[in-house]
Amino acid sequence: MKNNNLSLIKRSIFSSTIGILSTALLLSGCQKPAETETTNEPQTTKTTTVTAPVAVEETTSVRAMEQDEKSQPITILALGDSLTEGLGVNPEDNYPAQLEAKLKEMGYENVDVVNSGLSGETSTGLVNRLDWVTQTKPDITILTIGANDAMRGLELETIEENIRTAVKHLQDNGSEVILGGMQIYDNLGNDYVKSFSAIYPRIAEDMNLQMIPFFLEGVGGDPELNQADAIHPTREGYTIIVNNNILPVLRPELDEALAAKTNVVESSQ
């Protein structure tokens, strides 16, 4: 009986062992999908790492294109009277000089701002020298004229006609025109003052021009920003005119002109 019992015990142990081994194999088989998920994780990381340099290359390419555009030569003609010439300030302090310096600081390395302001200039005098000033072949012209006419009480119709003639001449010679709006003191009567100021937006609308609403905005009438004559800006006054009044209007026109030049160069290659 003992031998029979012993045999039964051995068989029982053997069966239990087989069962445990079978269960272990089944469990190890169930764990294989988890190993597959683990091996997939590094693949996702690799994909992200590969795409990153593409974005960097695109950004670099865009920056290179922008720099190519800014490196194109461009001529800006500053055309007007003593407010343009810079009467009473050093040559490096008038608005054309400050504008050129500012643009180069901003990356427009081949920009040339030509100062064609003349003290005492009227709209009639300006029209008479248009053939000479357009020899500079300006891409963009900032036109600021009419204040001397108004201070002399000249006919408003004549002022407007002269400004329109100047704009058309410049446009016909391939220059984009930015018109500087002007205002005068109320010493000639309210009707004259209002009618004079209205000339500029009317011309800008009719001739599809970008316009500086008031060239002396933020400076005119401020004794701290004007010379003793209370008419002509100081160096600090011109800095405000350049940064606040001219650049916001000029930059879109400048970038458009540079892009057009870049396209012409690329198409010819």
- 28, 172, 191, 229: which one is catalytic? 229
| 3-state per-residue secondary structure call for the chain | CHHHHHHHHHHHHHHHHHHHHHHHHHHHHHCHHHHHHHHHHHHHHHHHHHHHHHHHHHHHHHHHHHHHHHCCCEEEEEEECHHHHCCCCCHHHCHHHHHHHHHHHCCCCCEEEEEEECCCCCHHHHHHCHHHHHHHCCCEEEEECCHHHHHCCCCHHHHHHHHHHHHHHHHHCCCEEEEECCCCCCCCCHHHHHHHHHHHHHHHHHCCCEEECCCCCCCCCCCCCECCCCCCECHHHHHHHHHHHHHHHHHHHHHHHHHHHHHHHHHHC
Active site residue 229: yes
Active site residue 7: no
- 81, 82, 123, 175: which one is catalytic? 82
- 81, 149, 175, 232: which one is catalytic? 232
Q: What are the residue numbers of the active site?
A: 82, 229, 232
